[in-house]
Each structure stands twice: as C-alpha cells, then as structure tokens.
Chains A and B, each alone.
Chain A
Amino acid sequence: MNHYTNYPNKKGNSIRILALFLILTYFSSCDSFVEVALPSSQLTGDLVFKDKNTANAALIDIYAKMRDTGLLSGNLTGTSTSLGLYADELNYYGPVTDTGGSLYNNTLMATDANVMQIWNITYGQIYAANSIIAGMLDAPISKVDRDQLIAEGLFIRSLLYFYLTNTFGDVPYITSTDYRVNSIAPRVEIQTIYASIIADLKLASSLIQENYQAQGRVRPNRATVNALLARVYLYTNQWEESVSTASAVLNQSEYSLELPIAQVFLKESPSTIWQFGPKFEGNNTDFGITFIFNSGPPPFVALTEGLINAFEENDQRKLYWTTAVTNNVKTWYYSSKYTQNGFTGVSIEYPIVFRIQEQYLIRAEGNARLGRLTEAKEDLDKVRIAAGLIVTNAVTQQEIIDAILRERRVEFFGEYGSRFYDLKRTGNLNEALSTVKLGWNVNDALFPIPENEILINPNLKPQNSGY
C-alpha cells in the first residue's frame, strides 16, 4: 500500500487527505484487526472445567433445564402431563389438533413436533451431562468436588435414560460428546441400557456425598442416587437388589412419611429425597400452572373418573391432592398436589422428583414378589396409614402385589408417568387401557422415534411398530 503515498503532492490540502488514507496502513499492517476477543458472556470450554464454580454453573444449568423443559418438566413435554393423557389419568379439553389431542387419543405421529422436542431436549441434556463427566476427568480441582460433579453427571444421565427408554423403547445410548460417533449411533436394547444405568448409578453412589450439598434438597445426594437405583432394580425385576437398595434409602433418618398429607408437597417436606430448586425465590411449580383450574369446564386437562374412583373411602390423598370444581351441572377434579400457580414472594412448593413413599412401595413390592409377605404388608401399610387409611386386607401374594400397584396409582398419580410405566412393566397396559381409551391399540406402548431423526440417522431403523 505504501507506494501510493509516494505520489508527488503539490498542495497541502492533499497531504491532509492522504493522512486519512494512511490511517489504513495501520489496519493493513496487522492481521490482528480481524482477530476479536470472545464476548464477556462466553467462556472457552477448557476454562469452564478448570474452576469449581464455573463447572458447578454448567451442572446446575442442566437441572434448570430439566425443571423447565423435557421429560421431568411440568409442561406438555413432561411425562406427568403427556403420559397422564396417554394413559388413563387425565382427560383432555384443549384443541384436538394439538399434541395434547394426539396424546389423549393415542394417535401420535412419528412427525409429531412435541415428540421431536422431547427427544431433542433430552439428548441435549444428556450431552451437557456427558460434557461434565468428560470435562471433570482431569479437572484441576479437589477430588471431592470432582467426584461429586461426576456423580451428579452420571445420575442425571441415568435418570434421563430411564425415562427415555421407558417411553421410546430401544434408544441410542450416548456417553460421549463426539458428534461423529453420536450422529450415527444405533439403538441399544433396553436391557443393555438398564445394565449401563445400573453400573453408572453404582459408580455415582460411591462417588457422591452422603449429605446434601445445598439447602432445600435441591441437589441429589447418595440417597437420591440409590432411590433411582432401587427403582431401576424394580423395573428390571431384580427384587432382592430393589429391596436392599430401597432399604439403604429408608434407613436414612432424615426422611419420614409421617406428616400430614397436605404438607407432602411443600418444599420443606421431610418425605422429599430430591426436588428441583425454583428459577427464583417466589416461583412455584409448572405443575400448578398446568393442572389447576378454578371454574369448569376445564381449560386443558382434568383427572379422569377412573382415577377419582380408584381412591378408597377416607383417603386423605383424595381429600387434599384432588380438588373438585363444579358448575352445578358437572364436577371435575384437578391434581392439587401442588396448590400454587403464581408468584408468592417466597416459594412454597418446589417440583419434587423423588420422595420416600416410593421407596416404601418399592421395598414392599420387592418383598412381595420374593414371597416375604409380612415385610411387604408392613411397608404398604405405612404408606396407607400416612394417607389416613386402615391397614390392607390383602392376604395372598397376588393380592398384596395388586394392592401395592393400586396404592402406587393413587399415591403417584400425575407424577412422571408412574401409572403408565407401572402398567407397562407389569404387562397390564392393554388390558387396562383398551377399555377406557377409544384410540388405544397394542402398538401404543411405545412412542414413535421422531421421523426426522430416522431420516438423518438411518441407523435408528426400524421405527417402532405401528408408526
């Protein structure tokens, strides 16, 4: 560029103009003009894992996301609503053309946008967990912190795969962050996924702290990991292990189910093992927003008559966890486990993911299946008594198992698809749903794999049958 400045200049005027031109030699002389520092809102990947606080921020972001979107959330991508409609817990009052209508009518398409969203959100959360696990392996922070973060990463991954595989069947089991591998990953059989989940949870259980690392039980501890492990054992019919693992949780003295039913879903509840923290103080749960209505007919969903009729007389849970709304012609019920649907200044309820009642019923079922009927009845009755009922009158093994499943239905309605999964794992799905669901057919046990996924990754073939 310099040779242009050598042109003879006769007038002072031109020198001044040329000076402006020369400014450019500054830009031309250094390539660094087009090198720009990262904006202040971004950190490079390796920096994040060099510091305990930033690594922690990356981890809690996954909890925040799981609370707000995806399988564990309170909106339609969450199993509580979607599987409630899909099975026999919720009636639908919204527009039939929406996903809610397809769920309720059991007419999901492989092209359904909500199904696609569930899939993408979940794998996005799994990716974030995998990044943490990978990033922590040689992170220059204390071993205790590192182990805790790895354990939580393993726990999150296991929890998500548990719901994913129970909803979609065989799914790709992704543990790396390498897109070249992940984009062609084939589907893995459910039993193999369960084996991996169990191995991960065992490892997590050994790495994670026994005590809560945060106020309000909003971070998983060892009991949380074990609670999930006990559930996985139950779902895989490993009764002995389910009993012993549930016992490990139940032996912790900080959990108790002896409290008024109306207080079970408060954020201070002693029966809570793990719950999501709120977005900010004063926020309550999305479940409240989705389920609560105060005049009829319901705007979106309401509990089915079948569920309401499943409660025994004097069941405190019917009294407190369901609320009737009437327009003098007809009465509808909504799930009032969570009673808040607005901002309250100080948060009253957090979304609870694991609670101790489940561990009693897991141990009861494990024992029942093993023929230890006395122990089984004992745990079942604890849950019944807490709900204001008298002890069970079931006697035979089958009666006790049936009683436990009935109990699970009224205890965990509207919670993370528990009813649907119970029917499925016990082989009762078609029998229970074909009579009450007009659109039900045998292929509906699994959601379709999103069609777009199959198009991009043909290794996902074949599609689940019926889609």
Chain B
Amino acid sequence: MKKISLSKGIRAMGYSFILGVSLLSSSISANNSLAYSTVQQQPSKISGIITDGVGPLPGVTIAVKGRFLTAISDYNGEYVIAANPTDILVFSFMGFKTIEISISSQKIVNVQLKEDATVLQEVKVNAGYYSVKEKERTGSIARITAKDIESQPVTNVLAAMQGRMAGVSIVQDAGTAGGGFTIRIRGQNSLRSDANEPLYIINGVPYSSENIGFSETSTATLGATSPLNSINPSDIESIDVLKDADATAIYGSRGANGVVLITTKKGKVGQTTFTVNASSGVGKITRFLDLMHTQEYLAMREQAFANDAIAVYPEAAYDINGTWNKNRYTDWQKELIGGTAEINALQGSVSGGSTQTQYLLSGTYRKETTVMPGDFQYNKGSAHFSMNHAASDGKFKAQFSASYTTQKNDQPAADLTYAARSLAPNAPALYTENAELNWENGTWNNPLANLNQKFTSRTYDLFSNAVLTYSIVKNLELKSNFGYTDTKNNEKRTIPSTIYNPSYGMTSSSSSLYTNNTARRSWLIEPQLNYNLHRNKHKIEALVGATAQSTTTERLHVIGYGFSSNALISDLASASLRLVFTSDENIYKYQAFYARINYNYDKRYILNATGRRDGSSRFGDGKQFATFGAIGAAWLFSNENFLKDNRIMSYGKLRGSYGVTGSDQIGDYQFHDTYVSSGNAYQGVIGLQPSRLFNPNFGWESNRKLEVAIDAGFFHDRIFLTAAWFRNRSGNQLVGIPLPGTTGFNVLNANLNATVQNTGLEFTLQAANFQTVNFKWSTAINITANQNKLLSFPNLQSSPYSNSYKIGQPLSIQKVYHFSGLNPQTGMYEFDDVNGDGAIAAPEDKETIANLSPKYFGGFQNTFNYKNFQFDFLFQFVKQQGVKYLPGPGGGMTNQLQAVSNSWQQTGDSSSQQKLTTGLNYDIISAYYNFTESDGAITDASYLRLKNISLSYDVPLPPSSKIKCRLSLQGQNILTITPYDGDPEFKFAGYLPPLKMYTANVQLTF
C-alpha cells in the first residue's frame, strides 16, 4: 500500500507543480476577461430579507461573486445590493452555512440560512465514551483539528498542539528527531516527576506512554521517546484534551493528569477522492550562544593562570601552552550543530464510499536528517486504513480502523551540543589531511568520535480497533469497542573502540554493543450500553460499560563485548561475549465499570454524572479497587427568556464540575518484595539483587478537581469567549519518597499524606474579525495562568522533603542561596549567611525560594483569508524563570559566554563575573557552585515565539476539472524573542534545542 501511494505521490507531485503554475496564469487571464465583460452590463437593484427560520438575521454579508461588492443585512434582516442577472449572490454568516444563489431575472431574493453543524457550537466534541455537542457540554475539553495540524511541518503531533490549547503546557525535550516532549495538563499534580503523564487514547484504545527504551541504548533521545511519534499527524482528524473532573472522571484512575483523545481520519460519503501531499524543507538551530573567540578565550586563560599564580603552563593545558595553535579559531557551534536538517514528507490517501460504507486508505513517508555532521536520518512510514459500515436498516454499524507505523531512527548516540559549547575555540581540526579523525596526538577527545557511536532504533506500531454498534430497540444501543495494539522496538547502540582516544590502544576486542528488543501487546474489550430518551423538554442520555484491558511487555536487553572487527559491531552473533541484561515479561491488567447519566431540561439546565470503579494489578491485596466519579452541571442562560434573541449576546453558558480521579502510574509489581536477576555474572553465576525497598501498603492516589467556567458568544458567536477557573487537589499521593543513600536505595514507593493544589485560570477568545466573501480574518487567543501549591504535608520538617518543599509554595520551587553580589575586594561571589555561622552551606543558608514553573503561557493565532490565499500565524508565549547557562567556573579549559571576559581582575574592580581560576582555587570554585544554586543563577527565561507561520494558496481551477491544488509555505519556531541567552525552551541543558523549520508543500486532491 505504501509503495503504491509513494510512487503515485512522486508523480503527482511533479504534475502538481506544473498544474499549479499553468492554472495560476490561466486563472489570472480568466479574471481579467470577466472583469472586462461585466463593465458592459447595467447592474440592477436586488433586495430581500434574510431569516434563520425563526426571525430576521442582521449582520449577514451579501457579496457578488467575483467582484468587490458587498452589503450587510440590517436590523430587520433586509438588504439591498446592485448586481447583474448573470451574477451569483453569496450569503455568509458566522454559524450558518454559506449559500450561493444565481440571480437571473429575480429582483427580490429572500433567503433562509441554516445553522452550520460544523460551526463551533454545533460541533460534536469527543469525550471518549460519548460525544457531546459543544454547546451542551458540561466538562472542560480543548480541541484541535486536522486543519490546525496540517499547517505545521511537524513529525510529532504534540509539537502541533504547542500554544494552541489553554491549560496544556508542552515543552520539547530536545531537538533530536524522534525525541520526547513533556506535556502537563493543568500543572504538575504528582510529586513523582514521572507520574504526570496524561492518558493517551487512540480511537478509544489506550496507548501506553511508558518508555519502551533501555537506558543503555536510547542515549540519543534522552530515554523517553514520545509515544505520539507512532502516530502520523496527517492521519489525525482531531485531538481532544479532557481537563476537568466532569470530562476525566469516566477514565477514573487514569484520568488524574488529563486525557488526550486522538481520533484518526475516516472516509467520507462521496466519489473516490485522491489526495497527494508532498512537502520538503529545512531545519536549523534557533539560536546560538555568544561564546568567546580565541583571543578572548586565551586572554581568559592567561588571566586564570595569573590569578592562580602559575607561571609555567602545565603539561595538560594544551590550549595555551603552545601544543595547539593559538591562532586557530573554530566556531564549534556552527561546526557541530550548525548544519541544516532536511525534511521530506509525502502523503497520499484515497477515500470515498456510499452512504452505507465508507473507507479511507492513506500512506505517509517522512524523512528528517539532523543538524549534526554525518549521515543520520529519521525515517517514518505509515499506513492507515479506516472503514465504516452501516446496515441498510441503520440498526447495525461497524467501524474499523488500523494503522501501522514503522520508524527507523539512526542518530549519533551522543548529542554534540555540549561539545559545541564547551570546546576551546582553538581546539584542533576535526580531520587530518587524510580525512581521518584528528586526535592531535591524543591531546583532545575529538567530538566527532562520538558519531562512531551509533544509535539505531526501529519501532513498529500497530493500532487497530473495531467498534460494533447495534441499536436494540429505539433509544437503546449496544456498542462494543475492541482494541489491539502491538508495539515492537528494536534498538542498538554500538560503542566501537574507535571512539576512544587512540593512545589507550584499544582494539575491536574492547568494542561493545547494547541491544534492546521490547515488544508490548495490549488488548482491550469495552462493551457499552447507551440509552437516550427525549420527551418534551426532558432529554436523558445514559450509558454503562465495562473495560477489560491487559498489557504485556516483553523485554530482552543483551550486551555484546569484543568483536574481531569493528565492521561486525552491529552483529550480536559476532560478539565474543554476550550478556543478557534483562529478559522478562511484565503484565499489567486493568478492569473497570463505568457509567454516565446526563439530564438536559429544556436545553437550559444540564446535569452530567459520571463514575467508574477501577481495579489495577499494580496494587497489592485489598488495594486493587477504587471508585471515582464526578458531577457536572451547566446552565445555558442564553436560552432563558430574558436573553433569548438578544442582539448582542448570542450564547451564554455557566458550567461547573467536581469530582475525583486517580492515578496508578507507579509501575508494575512494585508492591512485591522481590529479588530480580541483576544480569551481572560472577563465578559463572548470574546474580540476584533486591529490587526495591519493600512496602506493600500503597494504593490509589486521588485527585479532586473543581471547575467553574463560563462560555459566552456575542454577535452570533462571532466573538466567543471561554473563561475557566479550576482547582485540582491531589492527595494520598503515590510517590517515590526520596531516601538517603544509607537505606541502600534512593526511593521508597508509598502514599504520601500530602496535598498538592493546582489552581488556574484559562481564557480563550475566538473572534471572526472580518467576514466577507473575499476577505476573512479571525483571531484566537488562549492564556493560562497556573498556580501550584503544597497545601499540607504532615511532618514536612522531619521528612526527606524538608529541604525541597515548603508549605504554601509550589512543588517546582528550589531553595537556593541568596546571591548578595560580587565582593570587589576578593573578587568572589557572596551570599547571605542566613544562620550566621560564617560558612555558606546547605540547607541552613538556602532559604531563598525560586520558582521555576511558568507564571502564564498561551498562544495568539491569526488567520487571514483573501480570495484563494490563506495566511496563518501563531505566537506562543511563556512567562517563566529559568536557570542561566553556566558551563563551569570561568578560567578552566572550557569555552565561556563572552560576558565572562569582563571578569574581576584586581581589588576594587566592580564586575558581574567573579575572579577566574584554572580549577585550583577551591574558594572560587565553591563560590561558583554556590552561585549556580543561588537566585543569582536564575533569570528571566520568558519568551515570545513565532511558533508557526503558514501561507497557502488554493490554485483556482475550473470547477469541471474536479482537481484541487493547494500550495503552501510553512515555518515552525521561526522567531524567538527572549531575554534568555540560548534557547529558552529546553528541558535538559546541553542538548539540542528545538529546531526552526521551513517547508514548502503541494497538496493535490482529485
């Protein structure tokens, strides 16, 4: 399937360019002739009344097609416009379907506009087990659709969600292709930093977000590879993020951190349609650091040696003792991470169907290279199939979808970002004249040696699900969802002897290979009964259902040592020694019963109750089951008499919810007291090691969520505003309590009697600023301000957390020293000695609180349509503090920011940079490290980023051709405005930040 669509795609892409260009020119000439001919005729007056079937509609735009003539209906729905009998009138109004009417001999054209079901309030929102009309929903659900996703050149859909959803914070972990993302829905609930992942559900089937990598192999992508890499963004129809209790409680134990529902595309009724989309582009690093050049760097080194009173440069100071050329200069950032990544993608799909059966078949191929030197690629290919069928009597419906994705990721096993920033600017050349790696007689570790250390990953994902629906009697429907997912991940990391300095004299007998084969299979059965009743003003919807799910993960980690040649290094069979590090099978079983009842009175009052009883194999005897639930209510006050048909306020809803959700993100088998095979051998026996500190007494954690929100639409919803306030309190937290190393371990799994509160405000505003036939401008803004707070923590002072948390403060605080400035006498950083003992030491002197969680964040999006052009841009903004780039004490053999050049030199100097040292002056080094743990190291890391920009053009084609062609230019992370030195969006310092990308696209539909 993939092959066919590929070759077709390539041909089509060629055609599309030719078509695009030729049609472009023909349409211009056609327009001209049209304009010429219309001058000949005398326009006459056309008038009429526009209604919505109930009353007159003011504010409707009436336009003459192909001309710049418009009118707007008045208070009584009446309009007048001048037009020719051959003209076509276009009636458009927000929230209603646009209609076109040919005038011919008519003088009076009365029109009744119909509400558009695809518009805001009528859209059905996916709430998982049920769907609900946007205007009738009681819960908090954020959504993006294919339209938003398609305009972005990203490989992971999380990147497309950035900045577009209120309450959803997404940070890209690293710019390495295939890397991970951190997503937090309404803040961090759990003290366990790895237990804040939302639940991902793809077409009703949960997809485990737990990492399937092996720490020894997946060093390139920082452990966590995002599960959403396995889903092709262009196959996604919509993503709905469930945020409050009303929406998430039906997911019970797994809903505490929010739920991300992904719905893939389905076929549509109609003729067979082919779509081909080709894009290609480039990616670059967003910003470099202002690092020293050779002259400044060597001056810094000289000063450091002078400060340390060392007259003769030591043997190992190759940069300054003459071993390396002092006149050399290399911009290592440019050299090592300044390359251009290429991005190519091709997608093809076929869809169509009769009223009874529809299908969609699509294939995608995508390739990304890196900004690092060397031939490294990330390849992704996927096939997606979806079919819907309804029996002729409409009673029986079947839906099936499957997608298969393969990812092939070849990356250097080590990120070069750290080397690019820290290497001395006069460090030697990378290659010798013979194009071999240059080790400069063993005086440096050539960073490119790391490129010989290769990481290859193959991931194969199958998602499939079938939904069978049968309507037993009127109003009663039985629905069963069957899901199966199968993920295989094969990873290898090769460590050839050539990565080591040749002076070690290593041979291939010291080379090693780490392999990871993980297979995860999961099945799910979810039968569900839906009932609904509509009598007069009463409407009831109810459902009950059950879930059984089982996930099995098999892991095999093998390490091979010693090869007869490095050419054989990726072949495990060629290893002299093989050690099986892990070979196991983990089973997770989960069972639940859930129910929902929704009562709607007169489209004014809505009550929604959901509940779930959950059982999980992750807990010990007597702790396996727990019950969760929520109640939500909404009052559509715009349907009350006092507001009905109000000219200004077209829609108003007050909603609120309260409920309890939970989390079982603790890992499998943690309640057992066990010994596990260590994979390490001695005397030919494989050792057994204690797995963990034993605590059988932990159970479900609970998260109580409260929300109040208002949705309001004005001027027929041309302006639509949502404001929500929420408060989540999580208690009985399931955490790994940090323990001192003296216990033999560093954590203990237990429930902690602490309460963490997240409160926040979310605003979204959508406005259709301009709505004419030829020009449209709409704006969407979202802002989220979160506040995280530790509410209570019994015995905090005597707990291991006493120095990391403070009651009333966020979890993300750091207790730091207070930086009081640089002492001009000594040239050293100084800090407040809180306890006055004459020494700066933790914990007593770390009494200043720094908060690193974002104060507010959001996005600002504008879309302009002019004739066939569409221009769209999104700014993302985050107000936050971050830690400065601090690569080590100034004066050592590490390149520094240019600012370090102005360091303190002699008594009386006032400088922001302390005295330099080559690494010998303990006091300076100590002051430096204290500085890194002080408020002096914290700086404004807020940013405003032009996250996405997209310009597209629909090539005008004669309606008879049935071909649609769209050309577009897209950009991602184009511009970043920030006071921060470096890229402010990073999770791990020293790793590749997100790239900026530009792509050009051609889409052809026929």
Residues of B within 8 A of A453 (CB): 740-742
In the bound complex, do residue A1 and residue B546 qualify as a contact, i.e. CB atoms below 8 Å apart? yes
Q: Which of B42-50, B328-336, B647-655, B675-683 contacts A (4 or more CB under 8 A)?
A: B675-683
- B683 lies within 8 A of A60 (CB): yes
Bound-state Cα–Cα, A285 to B677, Å = 23
How many residues from A make CB contacts under 8 Å with B? 114
Interface residues on B, range: 35 or more
Contact B680 A441 (CB under 8 A): no
Chain A residue nearest to B545 (CB atoms) is A24
Question: Would you call B685 and A57 a contact (CB within 8 A)?
Answer: yes
Selected contact of B682 from candidates A67, A174, A343, CB within 8 Å: A67
Q: Are B740 and A124 in contact (CB-based, < 8 A)?
A: no
B160 to A: closest C-beta gap in Å: 36
Q: Which residues of B contact A20 (CB under 8 A)?
A: 468, 480, 525, 527
Q: Does B443 contact A (CB under 8 A)?
A: yes
A450 touches B741 (CB 8 A): yes
**Within the complex, which residue of A17, A124, A441 is in contact with B470, where a contact is CB–CB below 8 Å?**
A17
Binds B, one of A28-36, A142-150, A262-270, A354-362: A28-36
- List of B residues within 8 angstroms of A294 by Cβ: 503-505
Check A63/B503 contact, CB under 8 A, given A14-B470, A455-B842: no
**Contact across chains for A297 and B315 when beta carbons are under 8 A apart:** yes
A-B contact count (CB 8 A): 329
Question: In the docked arrangement, what's the CA distance between A330 and B323, Å?
Answer: 13
Tell me if B687 and A61 are in contact (CB < 8 A): yes
Q: Which residues of B contact A91 (CB under 8 A)?
A: 315-316
A235-278 CB mask vs B (1 if < 8 Å, else 0) is 00000000000000000000000000000000000000000110
B888 and chain A: residue at smallest CB distance: A97
**Residue of chain A at shortest CB distance from B422:** A97
Alpha-carbon distance A79/B746, docked complex (angstroms): 23
For A132, give the chain B residue with the smallest CB separation.
B690
* Residue pair B509, A343 in contact (C-beta under 8 Å): yes
Nearest Cβ in chain A — how far from B731, in angstroms?
A: 22
Q: Are A111 and B929 in contact (CB under 8 A)?
A: yes
**Minimum C-beta distance from A25 to chain B (A):** 9
Check if B674 sits within 8 Å of A107, measured CB to CB. Answer: no
A454 x B442 contact (CB < 8 A)? no
* With contact pairs A24-B548, A45-B675, A58-B687 given, residues A7 and B748 touching in the complex (Cβ less than 8 Å): no
Contacts of A282 in B (CB 8 A): 562, 576-577
Q: B562–A343 contact, CB under 8 A?
A: yes
User: B874 within 8 Å of A by Cβ?
Assistant: no
Tell me if B442 and A295 are in contact (CB < 8 A): yes
Q: Give the segment of A81-89, A176-184, A400-408 that binds chain B.
A: A176-184
- Cβ-defined contact, B316 with A127, below 8 A: no
Q: Is the Cβ of A27 less than 8 Å from the Cβ of B591?
A: yes
Residue of A nearest to B615 (CB): A34
Nearest residue (CB) in A for B318 is A297
Which segment of B82-90, B205-213, B380-388, B915-923 sits at the interface? B915-923
B907 at the interface (CB under 8 A from A): no
Q: Mark B525-548, 1 if CB is under 8 A from A, else 0.
A: 101010000000000000010101
| A140 interface contact, C-beta 8 A | no
Question: What's the Cα separation between A23 and B892 when bound, in Å?
Answer: 69
> What's the Cα separation between A455 and B814 when bound, in Å?
13
* Chain A stretch 408-454: residues in CB contact (< 8 A) with chain B: 438-439, 441, 450-451, 453-454
A292-B504 in contact given A28-B546, A120-B746 (Cβ < 8 Å): yes
**Is B506 touching A297 in the complex (CB atoms < 8 A)?**
no
Contact A296 B693 (CB under 8 A): no
Q: Which residues of chain B from 22 to 51 have a CB within 8 Å of any chain A CB?
A: none
Residues of chain A within 8 A of B922, CB atoms compared: 105-107, 439, 441
Partner of A61, one of B308, B579, B682, B739: B682
Query: At the interface with chain B, which of A193-201, A374-382, A456-464?
Result: A456-464
Q: Does B561 contact A (CB under 8 A)?
A: yes
Q: Is A60 touching B748 in the complex (CB atoms < 8 A)?
A: no
- Contact with A123, one of B506, B582, B625, B743 (Cβ below 8 angstroms): B743
Contact call A218/B683, Cβ cutoff below 8 A:
yes
CB < 8 Å: which of A42, A174, A438 contacts B920?
A438
Q: At the interface, yes or no: A162 with Cβ under 8 Å from chain B?
A: no
- B926 close to A109 (CB less than 8 A): yes
Q: Which residues of A contact B546 (CB under 8 A)?
A: 1, 24, 27-28
Note all chain B residues with C-beta closer than 8 A to A458: 802, 843
| Bound: A131/B690 CA distance, A | 9
Chain A residues near B506: list those with CB within 8 A: 341-342
Q: Decide if B584 is an interface residue (CB 8 Å cutoff).
A: yes
Taking the closest CB of chain A, its distance from the CB of B672, in whole angstroms, is 6
How many angstroms from the CA of A375 to the CA of B668 in the assembled complex? 63
Taking each of A44, A102, A299, A344, which has the highest tally of chain B beta carbons within 10 Å of its own beta carbon? A299
Interface string of A8-27 (1 = CB under 8 A from B): 11100110011011011001
> In the docked arrangement, what's the CA distance between A120 and B546, Å?
46
A109 touches B584 (CB 8 A): no
Give the chain B neighbours of A172 by CB distance below 8 A. 742
CB within 8 Å for A119 and B741 given contacts A36-B587, A299-B442, A299-B501? yes
Residues of A within 8 A of B504 (CB): 289, 292-294, 299, 341
Q: Distance in Å from the Cβ of A132 to the closest Cβ of chain B?
A: 10
- A113–B282 Cα distance when bound, in Å, is 39
Q: A106-B922, A343-B561 are in contact. Are A61 and B680 (CB under 8 A)?
A: yes
Q: Is A393 at the interface (CB under 8 A from chain B)?
A: no
Most chain B CB within a 10 A radius of its CB, from A41, A91, A438: A41
Q: Which residues of A contact B675 (CB under 8 A)?
A: 42-45, 48, 54, 58
Residue of B472, B502, B615 touching A9 (CB-CB under 8 A) = B472
- Contact yes or no, B739 A4, CB < 8 A: no
> A218 to B682, alpha carbons, bound, how many Å?
9
Closest to B802 in A: A458
Known A64-B687, A179-B739, A183-B740; judge A97-B468 contact (CB<8 A): no
Complex-state Cα separation, A23 to B524, whole angstroms: 12
Out of A8, A27, A279, A451, which one reaches B680, CB within 8 Å? A279
Instruction: Note all chain A residues with C-beta closer than 8 A to B510.
Output: 289, 341-343
- Given A18-B478, A54-B688, A58-B687, answer yes or no on A44-B672 (Cβ-Cβ < 8 Å): yes
Q: Is the CB of A123 within 8 A of B843?
A: no
CB distance from A442 to the nearest CB of B (A): 12
A41–B739 CB distance below 8 A = no
CB nearest neighbor in A for B505: A294
Of all chain A residues, the one with the shortest Cβ separation from B316 is A93
Pairwise interchain contact A33-B741, C-beta atoms closer than 8 A: no
B582 in contact with A127 (CB, 8 Å): no
Q: Which residue of A lies closest to B690 (CB)?
A: A131
Contact of A45 among B315, B478, B694 (CB under 8 A): B694
B residues neighboring A (CB under 8 Å): 308, 310, 315-316, 318, 395-396, 422, 441-443, 445, 468, 470, 472-473, 476, 478, 480, 500-507, 509-510, 525, 527, 529, 544, 546, 548, 561-562, 576-577, 579, 582-591, 593, 615-617, 624-625, 668-669, 672-678, 680-691, 693-694, 738-746, 748, 800, 802-804, 841-843, 887-888, 892-894, 918-922, 925-926, 929, 933
List 10 tightest A-B contacts by C-beta distance, closest first: A127-B744, A61-B687, A343-B562, A294-B505, A120-B741, A41-B584, A299-B501, A455-B803, A64-B682, A457-B740
Could you write out 20 A-B pairs with CB less than 8 Å apart?
A1-B593, A34-B617, A36-B668, A39-B584, A48-B688, A54-B675, A61-B678, A107-B919, A128-B690, A185-B740, A279-B682, A289-B510, A293-B505, A295-B503, A297-B318, A299-B504, A343-B561, A438-B310, A455-B843, A458-B843
Which A residues lie at the B interface, using CB under 8 A?
1, 4, 7-10, 13-14, 17-18, 20-21, 23-24, 27-28, 31, 33-46, 48, 54, 56-58, 60-65, 67-68, 91-93, 95-97, 101-102, 105-107, 109-111, 116, 119-120, 123-124, 126-128, 130-131, 172, 174, 177, 179, 182-183, 185, 214, 218-219, 276-277, 279-280, 282-283, 289, 292-299, 327, 330, 341-345, 438-439, 441, 450-451, 453-458, 460, 463, 467
9 additional A-B residue pairs with CB within 8 Å, beyond A17-B468, A38-B674, A60-B682: A27-B591, A38-B669, A42-B676, A45-B673, A57-B688, A68-B680, A172-B742, A451-B842, A455-B843
